[in-house]
Structure 1
Amino acid sequence: MLSRACKSPPQRRVFVVGVGMTKFVKPGVENSRDYPDLAKEAGQKALADAQIPYSAVEQACVGYVYGMADCALALGFEKMYKRGLETKFSDRTNPVDKHFEVLVNKYGISAHPIVPQLFGSAGKEHMEKYGTKTEHFAKIGWKNHKHSVNNPYSQFQDEYSLDEVMASRSIFEFLTVLQCCPTSDGAAAAILASEEFVQKYGLQSKAVEILAQEMVTDLPSTFDEESVIKV
C-alpha cells in the first residue's frame, strides 16, 4: 500500500503551439517602450501564432512557476539601462558577487567593464588549459551575426567576416565588440499546451513536443576559487 501511494503521477505530454517576440532595440532610444507594452506585443503574437483566444489560456507566468494547466502562456521581458550591466541598487547584495570573487582570486580586476572581464577571463583560462585559440571564440560571434541576418527581430542584422570580428574594437583581452552581446529591450512569449488541448483546438500540425527539460542552479564547484570557467 505504501509503495502504491508514493508512486509519481503519470507524466503528461507538453507541446509548444505558439510563439511571439518583439524586435529587440537599443536601450534609451526615443521609441523604446516599457514592460507592459513589450509584454503585450509578445503575448499577442504568441496567441496569434497559436490561433487560439486569450480566454483559452488558463495561466500566464513570468519566471519559474510550477502548476498544472492545459494551456499556459510563458512570458519573459527585459528593459535594460543604456550603459549596460552597471550596479543600480546599493542597498542589497549583488547576485553575482560570489562570481566576481572567483575572478578576483584568479586574475584580479582591471578598469575594463566587469562583465566582459568575467567572460574574457574564462576564455583566457580555457586557452591556458586546453590550447584554445582566439579564432575559436571569434567564430562564435561570426556565427551569431550570420544568423541575425535572417532574424527580423534581431537588434543588429549585419553580417561580418571572421577577420572583421577579430579586428573590431577591443573590449577586454581577446574579446572584441563584435563578440559581445549588446544591451537590449524586448520580450518573448510561448504558449504551452497539453495533448488534450492540442487535439481540442486542432493544433497537431504546428505543435512541437517538449521531450525533455532540465533546470539547475549554481553548484558548489561554481565557486571553486581556482577556476573562472565554472562561473
Structure 2
Amino acid sequence: MSRDVVVAGVGMIPFAKPGKHDPYFQMAATATRAALGDAGVAYGQIQQAYVGYVYGDSTSGQRALYEVGMTGIPVVNVNNNCSTGSTALFLARQAIASGAADCVLALGFEQMNPGALGSVFADRPSPFDRFDQATDELVGHGEIPLALRYFGGAGKAHMDEFGTQLSTFAKIRAKASRHAARNPLALFRTEVTEDEVMAAPVMWEGVMTRLMACPPTCGAAAAVLCSDAFAQKHGLSRGVRIKAQAMTTDTPAAFEARDMREVVGFSMARAAAQQVYEAAGVGPADLDVVELHDCFAHNELLSYEALGLCPVGGAEQFVLDGDNTYGGRVVTNPSGGLLSKGHPLGATGLAQCTELVQQLRGTAEARQVEGARLALQHNLGLGGACVVTLYERV
C-alpha cells in the first residue's frame, strides 16, 4: 500500500551566473543543510539520498553529501537532463510511499559553463541524434544553437497553426521578470517590459529574442521527504504533502507526428499531467499555483496547453487575459521561473519544489498566492523525461 509522503523541509541557495558561485559540493551542502534545518532533522536521520546533476563526474553526489556527513547511507546519483531534480524527487517519494524508507533526501545541483549547452562526450552517438535529425528536417536553421531550434521551432509551430504573435512570448518573459523581482533567490531581479523583450538581440528572426531564453545558471536546492508516521513521531511539520506524482518518457509521437511541439515533449507532459489529475481526483481548474518548465518563453506557452490550464490553441488568449499571473486564473511561476530565477539543470526541479512548498505554507512573502491549497509542478528534460507533481496543503 502507498503511504502518504510529507515534504518536511526545503532549502535552496541564490542562483548565480557561471563563475559567480562556490564549487558544486559547497553549493549542494549549503542547500542540504538549509533543507535539514527547515525540516528540523539531523543528517543522521536521513536513510537514503537521491542526488541529481547533469554536468559532473560519477559519484559527485557523494562528494557533495560527504560535506554534510558520512553516515554510510545509500546515495544514488541521478541524471535525466533538465528534469534531473524532479527525478530525484520522484525516486525519493517512491522510496517512502513503498515503505522502503521513512526519511529521504532529494538534492539537485549544477555547476554550468557559460554559453549554449553542448555535448561532453564527442566520441559516441548523442542521445539527441534522433531529436537533432527531426529538428533539421522540420525547421532547418543549422546555424542556430540546437536548444533554440528545438523550442523556437516548437513555438513557431504554434505560431503557424494558431497565429500566435511574437509579442505574446514577450509578455510571458515580462511577467516572469515581475515575479522574480519579488524573489531574493532569483538570478535576474530587474523587471523588463514587453517592449524591452522585443527589442533584445534577435536569436531567430520572427521567432525569438535573447530575453526569451533562460540563462545558464549555477545553484543547488534540496528537499527532505518523510512518511506521515515519521513526521508525527518526530514532531515535524505535516502541512504539505505530495498528493500525486507521475513521470513519463517519450512515445513514438515524438518523431512520428512531424511536429516540433511533440519533439520537445508536449504529449509527454500532457500524459504526466493527466495521470496526476486522475490519481488526485482533481482538474486543472482546481489549481492555485503552478511552477512549470519555462526554459524558453515558448515552452511556457506550450505548457499551459499541455497541462490543461487552457484549451489547445487557447494559450495566447490565456496570456492576453492575464490568467497566468496574480489576479488571474492560476499564478504561473511566482518564483520568476527558469527565465528569471535561472536554470541550474540538476537543481531546477527541487527549486520548483521549494517555491511551491513555501506557497502552500503561506511563507512566500511578497510572492504569496493568497489561499494557495493545490500546487502543480512541471519539469521536463529532453531526451526525454517529464515529471509532474501535485502538492497539497493539509
Q: Same fold (TM over 0.5)?
A: yes
> Structure 1 residue 207: deviation in Å?
3.1
Range 31-40 or range 100-109, more displaced: 31-40
> Structure 1 residue 33: deviation in Å?
2.4
Find the aligned partners of 2:12 and 2:125 in 1 and give their Cα distance.
Answer: 32
Deviations 1:101-157 (A, max 9, x none): 111111213312221121111111111112211122222211221221122221111
Find the aligned partners of 1:223 and 1:69 in 2 and give their Cα distance.
Answer: 39
Report the secondary structure of 1:211's partner residue.
strand
Find the aligned partners of 1:77 and 1:98 in 2 and give their Cα distance.
Answer: 28
Tell me the percent identity: 41
Written as runs of structure 1 = structure 2, the 5 A alignment for 1:29-44 is 29=19, 31-44=20-33
Report the secondary structure of 2:247's partner residue.
coil
| 1:90 maps to which of 100, 122, 145 | 122
Match of 1:11 in 2: 2
Q: How many residues align?
A: 219
Find the aligned partners of 1:93 and 1:143 in 2 and give their Cα distance.
Answer: 39
Find the aligned partners of 1:114 and 1:161 in 2 and give their Cα distance.
Answer: 27
Match of 2:230 in 1: 197
Find the aligned partners of 1:143 and 1:222 in 2 and give their Cα distance.
Answer: 30
> Structure 1 residue 22: deviation in Å?
1.6
Instruction: Compare the two structures and name the one with the higher helix fraction.
Output: 2
| 2:17 maps to which of 14, 22, 26 | 26
> Structure 1 residue 225: deviation in Å?
5.9
Match of 2:36 in 1: 47
Max Rg structure: 1
> Structure 1 residue 209: deviation in Å?
0.8
Find the aligned partners of 1:218 and 1:79 in 2 and give their Cα distance.
Answer: 27
Written as runs of structure 1 = structure 2, the 5 A alignment for 1:1-231 is 10-27=1-18, 29=19, 31-62=20-51, 63=78, 64=87, 65=91, 66-67=94-95, 68-173=100-205, 174-204=207-237, 207-224=239-256, 226-231=258-263
Find the aligned partners of 2:192 and 2:115 in 1 and give their Cα distance.
Answer: 24
Find the aligned partners of 1:89 and 1:150 in 2 and give their Cα distance.
Answer: 39
> Structure 1 residue 216: deviation in Å?
0.3
Structure 1, gaps ≥5 residues long: 1-9
Deviations 1:62-101 (A, max 9, x none): 2344532111000111111122302332122222222111
Greater relative CO, 1 or 2 (CA 8 Å, sep 6+): 1
